[in-house]
Structure 1
């Protein structure tokens, strides 16, 4: 590692330790945020955090697996991986050398709802970093050799998922919940059959339709001001031509008339279980009530109801948790269990009992207070580095949540009542409609539909 790279690595380690200013557990004092929209539609957000001479940037583009056409599962992931593998002005190797020479980093990946390119550079090298970032977004060339290399990497990733029971259970669960043709019903990396069929022309077409300034949010956080950043961004991104792709239609999902148990019988030492239902979108008015519901059920670690009952009191599971994957569309609300084979059936029955209790019994005030404190106290930990802050704000903008979300979040959690918990539990969790995915020794688990 050269001296410049060592310096940047040290700065990154130091900035991770910088505290996020918080007044008790009730009020997050966010730094000032400035927002501009360029004439071509690119949204620029600047968050000054003076101190260390470092800038973190994220470009979030509406080009995740959600917008993939039928028969092209994996094209979003493959396109994102190829953004840094060569452009009209630099080869992939030249791009790597240029960013590494200044001790920076540049990475790209596709997510479910969007694609993200992230940049880290010293402030004095910001122009170079943004030039490389813009190059990757505007003029990637998708070299055939690099395409084949990244295709092999994605196929290897899928092969590893097949060997991992937890991933198998997750894939089986979402495929049953949404259908394998729905973008939320398959892994972001796609499927083996469709990945093998993708050609360079497909990727060029996907990039042409989905990557444009009017679909991009650029957040710069760190030792930078809007006055300094805006002219640089205008110069580098201002000539990027907006895209006019085909109208996007939300993928349809069938209405479930009953629950379903899906199993994959493997002679393993333990069983992986995922069960749940479709949840809500990120912009749903009930999001914060459901966030509290999730924390009560299994989203607050060892003090959640699932952990206290299934793990501590009964010893049925190695781990038990719940999660809400709210996105542009209604993502899954799920419970994940790792259990002994012979305990799987009983563990699922206990989860169902906990769900029924949330649907019928008001949450005690002291338990509700504890969970709210957990959620508001955890927020600063999600924003304690400049990179996390940039990512948080990019997604707040993407989902239309407001750039002051960090400041408002404690209040949004505080107003959730026991009646709200009953209402959203009855709305989203119904034992009759649970999808249950099991990977393990199915016969030993004695699993039946609740």
Structure 2
């Protein structure tokens, strides 16, 4: 009888070095920058057009116009009606989308690489010759007004809105809803949208990112892609109003308050608690790790107490949110109404105690999770394109991702503690959306600041 020897167990080695893909960068004569990422095996090309038009450029009485423009940019062009253009997109296998942020407008296109030329043509048509028909803008306006009503009824959306109004100075655009208020949205007309597009959307400062398997374009795919983009976008004229970039919002001097937004009969309280934090230019490699350790996962410090030990919540999360100059450190989630005050007290204690530092085991777990999952997070063309385009709006190069993860891998306990100390932990703005009659006194006895109750009509 022949005995087959048991094969030796392979050794598990640490993962090798990883870096974010480096693009080939070229520029058209009209100022449009093109970043080309050749990602083998990704046969659906992801195209992102990052346009530096920001909410701060909206007229005060027309706030929300950027969001409406984003929703209707592909609803017909000067050459085709909305129905005709939708049919052209379907025939070409093109998916178009859009989004806005304080950093700018993002237009996204996904199309099979073999139809990339047609996809670029259609994107160029709706960017350079949009129609913004009256009926489509009217429909989008009605939809936005309905969304505002829904946001008012949703406790998390209401908490985010009230936090912004409490934390930022009234003159900061960040203190008001990015999608506008009912009053400003009702004032937006189709001619106003067309004029805003004409003045603010153009190639100056705009970056196009294309990621996908471009080998079918020839021996020099980046050069071939540049020619395709030149053919589709070369005639795009610069916008009359130069881009200004995102504006740094200012914190109110009296932001250190507790606001209770009344939601009568609510059996849960929605919490949104925050303070000033860093932006991406301040040693950002530490902050994904800090988010993970403090409240970014079910096993983090916050949930270990408030969910696993106390059973007060299904889950609370913390995050560092970068903005144009500085950012936020926020904790959010819902808790049982009857333990709102205790939950807020415990949460603040956990966040403030973290200033004392983290154990070696915590640091290792956080660093490994953030750095070793990066290759999977950026394994697809759309993830690469999304990240590169988002960085472009923040005026950061693609290599920033690699540098950030290099910094993450080299973190020590001391560096992590120093990074956490750069957040303004302790100077809290606290918003609680819940039954004010039940929870206002609970948070008042914490002695954490003045408590203001806002009724639904306010």
Deviations 1:261-286 (A, max 9, x none): 1111112121101001132333x223
Of 56, 71, 78, 2:68 maps to 78
Q: Give the Å deviation of 1:316.
A: 2.1
Equivalence for 2:270: 272
Of 411, 415, 438, 2:410 maps to 415
Q: Rg larger in 1 or in 2? A: 2
Equivalence for 1:286: 283
Of 4, 17, 26, 1:27 maps to 17
Structure 1 position 253 matched with structure 2 position 242: no
Equivalence for 1:395: 390
Q: Residues 26-105 of structure 1 correspond to what in structure 2 (within 5 A)?
A: 27-105=17-95
CA distance in 1, matches of 2:283, 2:21: 27
Equivalence for 2:334: 338
Structure 1 position 168 matched with structure 2 position 164: no
Equivalence for 2:112: 122
Give the match's secondary structure for 2:50. Answer: strand
CA distance in 2, matches of 1:110, 1:430: 29
CA distance in 1, matches of 2:373, 2:170: 34
Q: Give the Å deviation of 1:414.
A: 2.1
Give the match's secondary structure for 1:447. Answer: helix
Q: Give the Å deviation of 1:220.
A: 0.9
Give the match's secondary structure for 1:410. Answer: helix
Residues 324 and 275 of structure 1: is their aligned pair in 2 closer, same or farther, counting only changes over 3 Å? Answer: same
Deviations 1:326-355 (A, max 9, x none): 132433321002100011111111111112
Equivalence for 2:103: 113
Of 431, 438, 443, 1:437 maps to 431
Deviations 1:56-85 (A, max 9, x none): 111111123243232222111011112101
Of 229-238 and 287-296, the range deviating more from structure 2? 287-296
CA distance in 2, matches of 1:138, 1:335: 41
Deviations 1:19-67 (A, max 9, x none): xxxx955632444521112121111011112335321111111123243
Q: Give the Å deviation of 1:170.
A: 1.2
Q: Give the Å deviation of 1:412.
A: 1.4
Residues 69 and 325 of structure 1: is their aligned pair in 2 closer, same or farther, counting only changes over 3 Å? Answer: farther
Deviations 1:267-318 (A, max 9, x none): 2121101001132333x2232233332222212x112111112111222222
CA distance in 1, matches of 2:318, 2:86: 39
> Does the 8 A contact of 2:303 with 2:316 survive in 1?
yes
> Does the 8 A contact of 2:104 with 2:393 survive in 1?
no
Equivalence for 1:322: 318
Equivalence for 1:351: 347
Q: Give the Å deviation of 1:114.
A: 1.4
Of 301, 305, 314, 1:309 maps to 305
Q: Give the Å deviation of 1:186.
A: 3.2
Equivalence for 2:5: none
Give the match's secondary structure for 2:322. Answer: coil
Q: Residues 77-226 of structure 1 correspond to what in structure 2 (within 5 A)?
A: 77-179=67-169, 182-224=172-214, 225-226=221-222
Equivalence for 1:236: 232
The answer for unaligned runs of 5 or more in structure 1 is 1-22
> Does the 8 A contact of 2:68 with 2:141 survive in 1?
yes
Give the match's secondary structure for 1:384. Answer: coil
Equivalence for 2:368: 373
Give the match's secondary structure for 2:443. Answer: coil
Residues 210 and 374 of structure 1: is their aligned pair in 2 closer, same or farther, counting only changes over 3 Å? Answer: same
Q: Give the Å deviation of 1:226.
A: 0.7
Normalised TM-score (structure 2): 0.87
- Alignment root-mean-square deviation, CA: 2.1
